[in-house]
């Protein structure tokens, strides 16, 4: 059996007529019109009108930058909203299941709990790669989504291209590649493979490299058929006007984003070198993201000591395969100096 979108879409979603908003029914062609259709306050203040539910201005720019069509993009209130929409479109509560690969981003598990969908966890291998044999054995006819986070949070590494390719070719459900950290990575995005794999979904975000975590903008890129299903169930105005405006401004400022990424990567390498000199740091894991996972002698102790010195890092010690690890986000040169000086004091 091969991938068939109709087979994996929930029955209630297939038959659904989405809410049709005023802004969906009448699309302005730019000519001057009198808008008395949406019960808005007519006095202009920049946000008195509902935003474009399809975010056409922003999507047109993103489509060009990513070399895909607008019909291949859905935007959400952060990629967290996009991930939730995937559960709601494709997973029947109490019946279907998804597969996640811990240690990984915690929201896949939380969203499966919220949506009453079984989360089947298949541990990464000791070198933090997906365990293909175990994943394939875990898949059954009710497995709808496989979440692959690459570069992976919290380990920082990218997954092998061959392994991801194998999973895409052998799974008849949807493979969701979460590329939140792709802009820091030396690997290419999977977006260019969308036309080869009808079951591929790629998610990205403006929260990391683009420095826009506060506006909440996430991207979902997939076949136009998958995007059409998600469009049916998304809240009509899920991306507000301020976010659309700010995102357009930022994504057009290609040079600033590139410079910041460059600075973060060079700071990351400096931090890596310094971590090697800290006596209680035992392993520094390879990273393709804007953070470094490191094994220390006692993560709970070191976490608390750093807090006392005013530096907040992430303690990942309770995550599988991550015992006694701390995750350090790469900050500005000055912030990293604070971290390093705190670590050095504790190291003596």
Ligand X SMILES: Cc1ncc(COP(=O)(O)O)c(C=O)c1O
Q: Give the Cα separation of 79 and 88 in Å (integer).
A: 14
Interface with ligand X, residue 149, by CB under 6 A: yes
Sheet with 291-296, strands from edge to edge, namely 281-284, 291-296, 325-329, 314-315
Provide the minimum distance between the beta carbon of 178 and ligand X in the complex, in angstroms, as a whole number.
5
Per-residue mark of binding to ligand X, 165-204 (x: CB under 6 A)? -------------x-x------------------------
Q: Give the Cα separation of 70 and 61 in Å (integer).
A: 9
Q: Which residue is nearest to ligand X (CB)?
A: 78
C-beta contacts of 252-259 below 8 A and 24+ residues apart: 252/61, 254/65, 257/183, 257/209, 257/210, 257/211
Contact by Cβ (8 Å): 221, 35: no
Contact by Cβ (8 Å): 299, 325: yes
Interface with ligand X, residue 78, by CB under 6 A: yes
Among all chains, which residue has been given the structure tokens 């240690």? Answer: 103
Per-residue mark of binding to ligand X, 216-255 (x: CB under 6 A)? --x-------------------------------------
Which of 62, 75, 80, 177 is the binder for ligand X (CB under 6 A)?
80
Which of 72, 79, 143, 199 is the binder for ligand X (CB under 6 A)?
79
Residues that bind ligand X (rule: CB under 6 A) add up to a total of 12
Contact by Cβ (8 Å): 115, 88: yes
Interface with ligand X, residue 53, by CB under 6 A: no
Which of 97, 207, 324, 325 is the binder for ligand X (CB under 6 A)?
207
Tell me the two tokens of residue 24. 């969906």
Provide the minimum distance between the beta carbon of 148 and ligand X in the complex, in angstroms, as a whole number.
10
Interface with ligand X, residue 55, by CB under 6 A: no
List interacting residues with ligand X (CB under 6 A). Answer: 78-80, 105, 149, 153, 178, 180, 205, 207, 213, 218
């Amino acid at each position: 059996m091969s991938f068939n979108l109709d087979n994996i879409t929930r029955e209630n979603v297939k038959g659904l007529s989405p809410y049709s908003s005023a802004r969906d029914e009448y699309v302005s062609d730019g000519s001057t019109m009198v808008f008395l259709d949406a019960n808005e306050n007519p006095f202009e203040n920049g946000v008195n009108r509902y935003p474009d539910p399809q975010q056409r201005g922003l999507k047109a720019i993103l489509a060009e930058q990513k070399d895909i069509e607008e019909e291949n993009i859905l935007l959400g209130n952060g990629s967290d909203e996009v991930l939730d929409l995937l559960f709601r479109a494709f997973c029947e509560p109490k019946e279907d299941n998804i597969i996640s690969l811990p240690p990984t981003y915690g929201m896949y598990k939380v969203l499966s709990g919220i949506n009453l969908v079984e989360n089947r966890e298949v541990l990464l291998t000791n070198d933090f790669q997906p365990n293909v044999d175990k994943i394939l054995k875990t898949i059954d006819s009710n497995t709808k989504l496989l979440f692959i986070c690459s570069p992976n949070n919290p380990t920082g590494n990218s997954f092998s291209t061959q392994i991801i390719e194998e999973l895409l070719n052998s799974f008849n459900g949807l493979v969701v590649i979460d590329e939140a950290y792709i802009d820091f990575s030396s690997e290419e995005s999977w977006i260019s493979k969308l036309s080869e794999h009808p079951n591929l979904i790629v998610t990205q975000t403006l929260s990391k490299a683009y420095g826009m975590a506060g506006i909440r903008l996430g991207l979902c890129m997939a076949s136009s058929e998958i995007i059409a299903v998600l469009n049916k169930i998304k809240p009509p105005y899920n991306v507000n006007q301020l976010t659309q405006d700010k995102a357009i401004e930022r994504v057009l400022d290609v040079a600033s984003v590139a410079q910041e990424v460059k600075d973060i990567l060079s700071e990351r390498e400096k931090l890596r070198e310094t971590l090697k000199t800290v006596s209680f740091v035992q392993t520094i894991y390879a990273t393709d993201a804007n953070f470094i996972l490191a094994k220390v002698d006692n993560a709970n102790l070191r976490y608390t000591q750093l807090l006392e010195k005013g530096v907040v890092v992430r303690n990942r010690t309770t995550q599988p395969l991550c015992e006694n690890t701390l995750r350090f986000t790469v900050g500005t040169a000055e912030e990293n100096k604070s971290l390093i000086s705190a670590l050095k004091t504790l190291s003596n």
